[in-house]
Structures are given as C-alpha cells and as structure tokens.
Amino acid sequence: MAQLDSGDGFETLAIHAGQEPDPLTGAVVPPIYQVSTYKQDGVGGLRGGTIAGAASGPGRWIEGYDYSRTANPTRGALEECLAALEGGVRALAFASGMAAEDCLIRAVCRPGDHVLIPHDAYGGTFRLFDKVASMWGVSYHPVPVSDPGAVRDALAAHGARMVWVETPTNQLLSIADLPALAQLAHSAGALLAVDNTFASPYLQQPVALGADAVIHSTTKYIGGHSDVVGGALVVSDAGLAEQLAFLQNATGSAAGPFDAWLTLRGVKTLPVRMDRHCSNAAQVAIMLANHPAVAQVYYPGLADHPGHETAAKQMRGFGGMVSFRHAGGAEAAVAMCGRTRLFTLGESLGGVESLIEHPGRMTHASAAGSPLEVPSDLVRLSVGIENCDDLIEDLRAALR
Ligand SMILES: *Cc1c(COP(=O)(O)O)cnc(C)c1O
C-alpha cells in the first residue's frame, strides 16, 4: 500500500493519492467499479469492510456505499487525488465542467445574488450565466479580471456573492492576480471561484493563493487525451464541500465510474505532459511573435504580455495555450485553420495532440454580439506534445 507522506511532491500525489492498490486483489490501479448499488449488511448497515474500508489515506471516500449517484469507489479515488493535487479539503467529480459550474452556482447563489465574471470568460460559462442562471434570478456583470482596480470598482458598484475568475482566460490568455482578487473578494464578503482549467493544478494552485473554490473541466489537461468529458470542483472549506456534495447527489450530476477511471488514468502523467506543453507552446509563441503574417500573440510566457510578471509569480509554467491575431484578417484566419497538417481543426484543448480553432466561429460563437465577443481574426492553438519542430513547420506552412 502506498504510504503517502505530507511532504510528497505533486508528481508522487498524481500517481498515488487516492490510488492505493485494491485491498481485495492487489490491483495496482483502482478498478472501474461499474456498479449502481451495493449489498447492505443488514438494513442500513453499509459495508465498511474489505474493499472500501481497507483503503488508506485521508479516507474521505471509504465509508460504506449505498448507491453510485451518491458515492462510487472509482469516482472517490479520482476525487481524493484531485483534492490532494489542488490542496483542497475535498473534491467532487462531475459529468462535465459545465455540470461542475452549475453545481457551484446553485450551491452558492440565491435569487437576487450577483456574480462578477471575466469579460473574456469561456463561452459556455458566459452562456450559463447569461441564459440559465439569469432565469433563476442570479445576475452577472462582466469585468476585466486582469485589472484588480476594475474588480474593486465593480464590487463597490454592484456587490457580489461570488467573484468568478479564469486565469489564464480561455481565449486572450489574460492573467488575474489571484492573491489580490482573493483579498478584494473576501473584504466585500464574496467568494473567490477560480476556473483553473487552462493552468491545471500542476502549474497553479488557486486554493493556496486564496481561492474558495476551484473549477475544472477535466476534459482538458487533467484527462489530457481527448477521450473523456468531465468536470471537478475543489474547495477549501468543509461546509461548502457538504453543500456541493448534497446538491451533486440531489441533482445527479456526478461523473460515471468509467469516465472517472479514464480521468484518473490521465492525471497520472499530468506533470510530464504539462512540462512538454509549456516548452512546445513557448517555442510556438516565439515563432509566431516573429512572423510577418501575425499581428499579435497572446501567451503569458512572452515578456511583453501584460500579465507576464503576475503569471511568473503564481504559476510554475505558462501553459500550452497560445492565441494570435492573423494580420490578414478574419478570412485569412479562417483559411489558416483549414490548412494545417498536424494541428487538428477542432474545439476543446489540453490533449496530447495539437488543435487549432477559430474562436469567433467555434468555441466562442455563443458570445457573438455580447460584451464577450472575440476578435474575428483570432486563432487559438492548443499546443500538444508532438515534436516541436514538426509543429512549428506545420504552422509556418499554414501561414505562408
Ligand atoms: C471546456 C471548458 C469548460 C467547460 O467544461 P466541459 O467539460 O466542456 O463541460 C469550462 N471552463 C473552461 C475554461 C473550459 O475550457
């Protein structure tokens, strides 16, 4: 049985946290408990014994099981691992990132409450606030979260139950100063929720920087192989964790066992993948910044990126996402997206394979006409972990 030490590093936790060998068979990875219900040892006597009870670790998920919507051992293993990686008291795994976001909003907000969201938020997050939460009396206000002064003013003008932040943000890679925003949010009586999808816990741990809740689309870097959709919430407060777990069970938005298992398989290699994503993306960003067909590059690793210093303070690396504006305009940007050989034209991000997309007509189409509309000449790259020279040559050829 893996004995984890409080000083164990991230790479060790990614492989061992929540993932003790199966006490029944010795299986080295947690099995897929593809099961809906569990035999009870007498009415109300949930089994605390062999399989679940023998697992070591903080043991959040080892109490008896009754029904897999409420708890499932494979999902529990993933949740324990994610809580360890983010340094939170508890994690919950969901069927998708959007299901996680929905659970957080509904657990925290009541009709009449107000939320500040990034003015360049992920399109699906904007849609959830604009078209769904608004129907239940929860209003929102977009702010440039990279500007603490703007957040302070918005808090003074509108108040907020929650300050919702992405950093880096989903399309323009802007950077929010998390300790500064935590202080502003808390002194206004608001929670700070951080969508950490772009950075992953390997590069940035928002709880340690003051966040109350961390949101993940585990579909992206945590899963890492473009083969499963999932989401997670990690929180720093046990009371909030209880409220979220109650709502997750009451509404039935949890991840299934096989999806949880795939995600857990992915997360083991998160540190080595992220290192390569970061180094490949940095080289791609430098090439683009020097290319005549490129008007502007958005990558927090570039020294002239406005968030570079903040990113360097709160992140271990600058990530694998690069956006840029094509100097030839919208049609040239769209045409380029159809001309790459290795970069696959597709939505999503964070997988081992490189992807290219046109946010204005794809991932962020739902923000068209809103304050969150993206430039029409913007191209977004999810730089994968292929050979970097091959990737750069592919982009050069498509820009030609
Ligand atoms: C993809 C994504 C989401 C939504 O997650 P799903 O797993 O697609 O539901 C939320 N936030 C960010 C930043 C994302 O990139």
Separation of 329 CA from ligand 1 center, angstroms? 27
Mutate to test the pocket of ligand 1, among 220, 355, 362 (most ligand atoms within 8 A of CB): 220
Mutate to test the pocket of ligand 1, among 102, 122, 216 (most ligand atoms within 8 A of CB): 122
Centre a 10 Å sphere on the Cβ of residue 343 and count the other Cβ atoms it contains. 25
Cα–Cα distance for residue pair 115/191, rounded to 1 Å: 10
Predicted confidence (pLDDT) at residue 75 exceeds the cutoff of 80? yes
Over residues 334-356, the mean pLDDT reads 97
99 CA closest ligand 1 atom index: 9
Mutate to test the pocket of ligand 1, among 94, 96, 98 (most ligand atoms within 8 A of CB): 98
Length of the chain in terms of residues written? 400
183 near 223, Cβ under 8 Å?
no
Predicted confidence (pLDDT) at residue 35 exceeds the cutoff of 80? yes
pLDDT category of residue 61 using cuts at 50, 70 and 90: very low
Over residues 27-44, the mean pLDDT reads 90
Name the nearest CA neighbour of 351 among 325, 393, 383: 383
Q: What is the pLDDT of residue 55?
A: 39
230 CA closest ligand 1 atom index: 7
pLDDT category of residue 47 using cuts at 50, 70 and 90: confident
- Write phi, then psi, for 194 (nearest 5 degrees): -120, 120
pLDDT digits (tens, 9 = 90+) for 177-230: 999 999 999 999 999 999 999 999 999 999 999 999 999 999 999 999 999 999
Q: What is the pLDDT of residue 53?
A: 39
Going by alpha carbons, the residue nearest to atom 1 of ligand 1 is 217
Over residues 106-123, the mean pLDDT reads 95
List pocket residues of ligand 1, CB cut-off 6 Å: 96-98, 122, 124-125, 166, 170, 195, 197-198, 217, 219-220, 229, 231
Going by alpha carbons, the residue nearest to atom 5 of ligand 1 is 97
Separation of 300 CA from ligand 1 center, angstroms? 20
Predicted confidence (pLDDT) at residue 355 exceeds the cutoff of 80? yes
Going by alpha carbons, the residue nearest to atom 2 of ligand 1 is 217
Over residues 113-141, the mean pLDDT reads 95
Read off the amino acid at residue 209.
L
326 near 335, Cβ under 8 Å?
no
Q: What is the pLDDT of residue 374?
A: 86
Cα–Cα distance for residue pair 78/259, rounded to 1 Å: 10
Q: What percent of the chain has pLDDT over 70?
A: 95
Predicted confidence (pLDDT) at residue 50 exceeds the cutoff of 50? no
* Helical packing angle, 178-187 and 148-158, nearest 10°: 20
Q: What is the pLDDT of residue 63?
A: 60
Q: What is the pLDDT of residue 41?
A: 83
Separation of 349 CA from ligand 1 center, angstroms? 9
Active site residues: 69, 122, 195, 220
Q: What is the pLDDT of residue 54?
A: 36
Going by alpha carbons, the residue nearest to atom 4 of ligand 1 is 97
Separation of 367 CA from ligand 1 center, angstroms? 15
Going by alpha carbons, the residue nearest to atom 6 of ligand 1 is 97
Q: What is the pLDDT of residue 48?
A: 65
Write down the pTM of the prediction.
Answer: 0.94
Read off the amino acid at residue 287.
M
Over residues 55-63, the mean pLDDT reads 45
Separation of 397 CA from ligand 1 center, angstroms? 30
- Write phi, then psi, for 287 (nearest 5 degrees): -60, -45
13 near 242, Cβ under 8 Å?
no
Q: Across the chain, what does the average pLDDT equal?
A: 93
pLDDT digits (tens, 9 = 90+) for 253-264: 999 999 999 999
Centre a 10 Å sphere on the Cβ of residue 234 and count the other Cβ atoms it contains. 30
Separation of 192 CA from ligand 1 center, angstroms? 18
173 near 305, Cβ under 8 Å?
yes
170 CA closest ligand 1 atom index: 13
Q: Which residues contact 327 (CB under 8 A, 6 or more apart)?
A: 292, 293, 294, 295, 377
Separation of 130 CA from ligand 1 center, angstroms? 16
Q: Out of 4-18, 176-190, 384-398, pick the least confident.
A: 4-18
Q: What is the pLDDT of residue 187?
A: 98
